Amino acid sequence: MVHVLASTIIGLGRSGIAGAKILQKQGYAVTISDRGQSESLLKLKEQISDLNITVKLGDSFQPSPDIQLVVVSPGVPWDLSALVKAREMGIETIGELAWRELKDIPWVGITGTNGKTTVTSIAAAIFQAAGLDAPACGNIGLAACENETPAIRGFVPTRKNGISEIFMMGLNHDSGVSNLNSTTL
């Protein structure tokens, strides 16, 4: 009998769908859980109906011992009681799947109350003008794990001028990110 790894993604949206596709390629059985039941969520569910991904709308996630991985989409509070319980149960709980998949590539996370989108756009433009592959993602552009980078496709990242790809992402909550440097503008 083959043991299939079980994963749950909290939040059906760009990030959730992109993450589900990656996890599925890695052999996970994927369930996406979302409390909402809006027309737009129903359309998203329909769009991915042929991908063999279980989608539960109107669902309040509850962790169980058979789940090995929980991925929390941007916008979902990190301190949600079910997520706290999942971590207490020893279930790997991560914020953005791309950080796990692209851990060897530098990231620039931009946080704050106002101006994240503007600063992310400016930072991406500066890095791109310097010749780096530096897509803006997360709150603008694609979901971070949607970027068609060599690393996401399963290859070693390319290097330009001796520097690997850099990703910019606006962050709305901690999600387990370590602060390497903090600058106030």
Given a contact cutoff of 8 angstroms between Cβ atoms, the answer to whether 72 and 91 are in contact is no
Amino acid, single-letter form, for residue 3: H
Instruction: Identify any residues that bridge with 33 across adjacent strands, giving them in sequence order.
Output: 10, 56
For 86-113, the pLDDT digits (tens) are 999 999 999 877 767 666 677 777 777 7
What is the model's pLDDT at position 139? Answer: 67
For 48-91, the pLDDT digits (tens) are 989 999 999 999 999 999 999 999 987 788 899 999 999 999 99
* Exposure string over 146-184, b if 16+ CB within 10 A, otherwise e: bbebebbeeeeeeeeeeebbbbbbbbbeebeeeeeeeee
List the domain boundaries for the chain.
5-95, 99-170
> Is the predicted pLDDT of residue 165 greater than 80, yes or no?
no
CATH homologous superfamily for the domain 5-95:
NAD(P)-binding Rossmann-like Domain (3.40.50.720)
Of all helices (H) and strands (E), which one includes residue 31?
strand 28-34
Q: Collapsing DSSP states into helix, strand and coil, what is residue 21?
A: helix
Given a contact cutoff of 8 angstroms between Cβ atoms, the answer to whether 138 and 169 are in contact is yes
